[in-house]
Amino acid sequence: MKVFHVELWSIWLSGFVLILLSLYATQRLPSLNNDDYRIFKLKKIDVLYSRNLSITIFSAPKPFMDSIGTRQSHAVRSWLALSPFVNVVLYSHHPSVASFANAFDSGRVLVDTDIDFSFLGSPFFHSMIAKSRSFPSEIFVIVDPETVILSGFISTLNHVYELDRDWLLFASPQNVSHLDNTKNVKIQEKVQQNLQWNYCYNAERMLLAWNNKDMPLHNGVLPPFVYGKGTHNNWIIHEAISSEFRFVFDASWTITSFRMNNATFENSSALDIENRNWEYIGNSHLGANYGSFFYSEANYSNLPKLLICKNKYIMVDTKKNIVYPIRHRGGVNLLKENTKHCIDNQKSVTEMLDCSVKDQMKIPESLELPFSLESLLSITADRNKTIVLTVSGYSYKDMLMSWVCRLRKLSIENFIVYALDQETYQFSILQGIPVFKGPIAPSNISFDNCHFGTKCFQRVTKVKSRIVLKILKLGYNVLLSDVDTYWFRNPIPLLHSFGPMVLVAQSDEYQEQGPINLPRRLNSGFYYAHSDYQTIAAIEKVVKHAETSGLSEQPSFYDILCGEGGTYRVGNSKCVEPETNVTVHFLDRNLFPNGAYQNLWQEKNVKAACLNNGCYIIHNNWISGRLKKLTRQVSSGLWEYDPSTRMCLQS
């Protein structure tokens, strides 16, 4: 009993000293270098550390600014100080993260931008986990970017690395939320109060670690959770337990980690506080709808705990009051006699509450982006106030995603999706896409049969021109692109260079020779409209014409802008509409081929053939039926999305 107390005290004491040091460090950050963080190692237990395990710690920090940046910096430095074989991978697009990482010349801190992010820059957890597999490391760890890891980490991992089966451990950071506001009062007392062992499990901030073996963490597919927005750690732990692929246990007692305070929301912009709730709501929806996960089942107190007794690691089930032997591969059973008294003691210190459960019980009802069209446009448009707009219904959602993934790969972020139905809207939110819907969408579109020439197609296309008009009137240039276009490179600078009063459109002409502006050859599935008075007037005429027409909007575009029968044609590739003086410029089909041009889609290597012509985009039109269209695009390799994992394909 005494021995145990000594152990516990030594942990407490070290933790305490370290917190003091870390508090000191908070105020003196710039003068610290990596060596100063060596103090984070707990001497006594960490002597076992000899195996030089390669460990990769993954996290997704916020921008390194303000107090959050300081806390993150502490956290990352504390990780690096654990062992020279710890490497850190930070998922972020933000320049401040890149410059933070560059300050470590050893290359131990990498920044990875090649995963899926939401349009507000939040990384996707499922994509982080998938990407982790590409790093050569014996152990993977995911931890909240503000969690300082103090001690016990390396020695715990060394121990469990030798377990005779694959494992997943979790450790809840301790709650010292009041510390950094109390620099001048008696810190000693505060630490004792706050580092008591009867704290809450903080599922949202848990550290997860697992050995890198073939055995997956869980059965089934990890839903597209947004990282850091609740639920996903819970989900992983629960699914890992129920799949029984791995031994899942609680190492909160042997790994000392903490967060300086609860400041997740402390200094986020208004955007963050009010507008990020939907990320939590989205995650809750996913958590509830995928796998066997139910909120009420998350109960950490029932799981095996790793504890230290008489300088030895033991696995305890406090509920059943039994000690598991820790079976190692070498057949050595580390469990010795005299553990009974330890367990009796442990029981009193392992009453940790799952405080997060009650909050997660309530699954919020509706999933909505809290942005009006106007605010969404201002967030996503580029500096020239240009927006790429696409329109999609649910049966085209995979094609939509492939299109989105392609644009993201080209670093084109100024796009926005108009959802024709509620399913597409919610799906898009969960995929992190800037999406809006409106009262204009026809309510009962059946999309499998909504192809060219049908009534449904006509109704849908009319929606498109009305949305374009609305956005033009809000002062944004619009590049309308159907989802069945594959983008080889960014066409926006070229399209922008035509200037005002020029509507730049793809030609749907199929004959290789001759004019490309013949009647009804304007493809209204890919055009660029500059936001100016004349262009708005011209599109307004198109919309008005389409309303009363029995056809789709495509003929309206041509008949209004180029005149019926092509009376306003100028040369072989232009028209000038006399009332508004708006010019229609038909795009060079070598650069913007339609689906019939040169039979490019029939080429063995569509990509090479197109690029040989100098393609910007190729349209997957001139084919009837959704499935044929889909098949053609997937089999040609001009495809960027994996619907089974809900992730963009890695290049």
Ligand X SMILES: *[C@@H]1O[C@H](CO)[C@@H](O)[C@H](O)[C@H]1NC(C)=O
Residues that bind ligand X (CB under 6 A): 50-52, 65-67, 84, 175, 177, 199-200, 202, 262, 266-267, 299, 301-302, 319, 354-355, 357, 382-384, 444, 492-493, 496, 534, 580-581
Q: What minimum distance in Å lies between the beta carbon of 649 and ligand X? A: 26
Spatial distance between the Cα atoms of 326 and 78, rounded to a whole number of angstroms:
28
> 329-336: long-range contacts at Cβ-Cβ below 8 A with a sequence spacing of 24 or more?
329/162, 329/163, 329/164, 330/162, 336/310, 336/312
State the pairing for strand pair 109-112/167-171.
Answer: unpaired
**Which residue lies nearer to ligand X by CB, 384 or 612?**
384
Contact 173, 47 (CB under 8 A): no
3-state secondary structure of 301: helix
Q: Residue 490 and residue 492: Cα distance in Å, rounded?
A: 6
CB of 461 to ligand X, least distance (A): 16
Write the single-letter amino acid at 472: L
DSSP 8-state class, residue 123: B
Measured CA to CA, the distance from residue 637 to residue 620 in angstroms comes to 13
CB closer to ligand X, 104 vs 498: 498
Nearest distance, CB of residue 322 and ligand X, angstroms: 14
Q: Which of 188, 299 has the CB closer to ligand X?
A: 299
DSSP E strands, 393-457: 415-419, 435-436
C-alpha to C-alpha distances, 291 to 129, 228, 282, 295, 515, nearest whole angstrom: 17, 20, 16, 12, 57
Q: Read off the DSSP letter of residue 446.
A: -
Closer of 512 and 579 to ligand X (Cβ): 579
- Decide: 130 and 56 in contact? Cβ < 8 Å: no
Q: How far, in Å, CA of 149 to CA of 75, rounded?
A: 7
Residue 305 beta carbon to ligand X: minimum distance, rounded to whole angstroms = 13
**Distance separating alpha carbons of residues 110 and 87, to the nearest angstrom:** 8
DSSP track, 472-483: HHTT-EEEEE-T
Compare residues 414 and 556 and give the one whose CB is closer to ligand X.
414
* Of 65 and 332, CB closest to ligand X: 65
Which residue(s) pair with 418 in the sheet?
391, 436
Residue 412's alpha-carbon distances to 175, 407, 437, 650, in angstroms, are 41, 5, 22, 17
Cβ proximity to ligand X: between 252 and 431 the closer is: 252
- Shortest separation between residue 493's beta carbon and ligand X, angstroms: 5
Collapsing DSSP to helix, strand or coil, 647 comes out as strand
Whether the Cβ atoms of residue 647 and residue 126 lie closer than 8 Å to each other: yes
One-letter identity of residue 540? E
* Cα atoms in the Cβ-side hemisphere of radius 13 Å centred on 393: 21
Q: Select 137 or 621, whichever has its Cβ closest to ligand X.
A: 137
Rounded least distance, CB 36 to ligand X, Å: 19
Distance, CA of 148 to CA of 72 (rounded, Å) = 8
CB of 587 to ligand X, least distance (A): 18
Run of H or E residues at 527: strand 522-529
Under DSSP, is residue 130 helix (H, G, I), strand (E, B) or coil? helix
Nearer to ligand X, 75 or 647 (CB): 75
Query: At 356, which amino acid appears?
Result: S
Shorter beta-carbon distance to ligand X: residue 129 or 387: 387
In the bound complex, what is the minimum distance in angstroms from residue 533's beta carbon to ligand X? 8
Q: Residue 578 CB, nearest distance to ligand X (Å)?
A: 7
Contact 469, 490 (CB under 8 A): no
Which residue number, 489 or 520, has a Cβ lying nearer to ligand X?
489
Residue nearest ligand X (C-beta atom): 200
65 vs 221 by CB, closer to ligand X: 65
Taking the least distance from each CB to ligand X, the nearer of 446 and 602 is 446
118 or 175: whose CB is closer to ligand X? Answer: 175
Q: Which is nearer to ligand X, 451 or 496 (CB)?
A: 496
Compute the least distance from the CB of residue 538 to ligand X, in Å: 10
Residue 348, burial from CB neighbour count under 10 angstroms (0-12, 13-18, 19+): exposed
Q: Nearer to ligand X by C-beta: 238 or 646?
A: 238
Can you spell out the DSSP letters for 180-194? GG-TTS-HHHHHHHH
- Please, what is the minimum distance in Å from the beta carbon of residue 301 to ligand X? 4
Q: Which residues contact 198 (CB under 8 A, 6 or more apart)?
A: 349, 351, 352, 353
171 - beta bridge partners? Answer: 207
CB of 197 to ligand X, least distance (A): 12
CB of residue 354 vs ligand X: minimum separation in angstroms? Answer: 6
How far apart are CB 501 and ligand X at their closest, in Å? 8
**Least Å from the CB of residue 397 to ligand X:** 20
- Contacting residues for 464 by C-beta, under 8 A, at least 6 apart: 391, 418, 480, 524, 553
CA proximity to 208, closest of 284, 296, 144, 291: 144
E-strand stretches of 239-346: 247-250, 256-259, 305-309, 312-317, 322-324
Residue 259 has which token pair?
């967060």
Q: How far is the CB of 511 from ligand X (least distance, A)?
A: 32
